[in-house]
Amino acid sequence: MSKIVTGILFIIICGVFFEAGLILSDTIVTGQPPQINKLFTSQLDAISSLISSIHHGSSKQKTVTVLNPDNVASALQNKTGLNGINVQTLSAYTNESTSNTEINVTLTATGYKTITSGTNVTNGTIIISPNQTYSINATATGQSGDGGFTIDINSIIITSINQLYNNQGNTS
């Protein structure tokens, strides 16, 4: 019986030290008095979302094979205004059953934009380099095909474009 009580007390003491450390670190990071209610609420939200994700394990995203990657890359390029899309980075994911004939997919890819700059005007040298890299997220529908899905390029909707790298030193 004393081993059980000792174990419970040990768990309680660990919890108290954890909470004290969390409150102290929040005070140091924010430079303000801790909002204990907000900290506990965020912990409970994180725990409840973890528990709900365990119970809903069937909602995992599945990778989908794109049967027309060149057409999808071309459509993404036209809709984003970038100079090119890296077809090797094109990925499609879905939460729906892949046994359906038509599914909604989330597309991700990286693209680039070239910047032309004239560095030496006397001998006409022009340097073109792909110095801006972007991450593209989009949604679309796909039709079931032989070993994958054909993405309907007219259904592609760009959801976000984020600049990953800029050769001139600006990153986000």
The answer, yes or no, to whether residue 70 has pLDDT greater than 70, is yes
The answer, yes or no, to whether residue 53 has pLDDT greater than 80, is no
Q: What is the mean pLDDT of residues 94-119?
A: 84
Angle subtended by helix axes 2-30 and 36-55, to nearest 10: 120
Q: Residue 47 has which token pair?
A: 């725990």
Q: What does pLDDT average to over the chain? A: 83
Could you tell me what percent of the chain has a pLDDT over 90? 40
Place of tokens 């057409």: 71
Place of tokens 């899905």: 149
Place of tokens 């110095």: 131
Predicted confidence (pLDDT) per residue in 76-102, tens digit: 999 999 989 999 999 999 988 888 889
64, 72, 61: which is closest to 147 by C-alpha? 64
Lowest mean pLDDT among 39-43, 112-116, 134-138, 151-155: 112-116
Q: Which residues of 18-46 are buried (b: 16+ CB within 10 A; e: fewer)?
A: eeeebbeebeeeeeeeeeeeeeeeeeeee
Q: What is the DSSP letter of 122?
A: T
Lowest mean pLDDT among 4-8, 26-30, 103-107, 149-153: 26-30
Q: What is the mean pLDDT of residues 21-37?
A: 84
Domain boundaries, the chain: 2-58, 62-166
The whole-number pLDDT of residue 49 equals 75
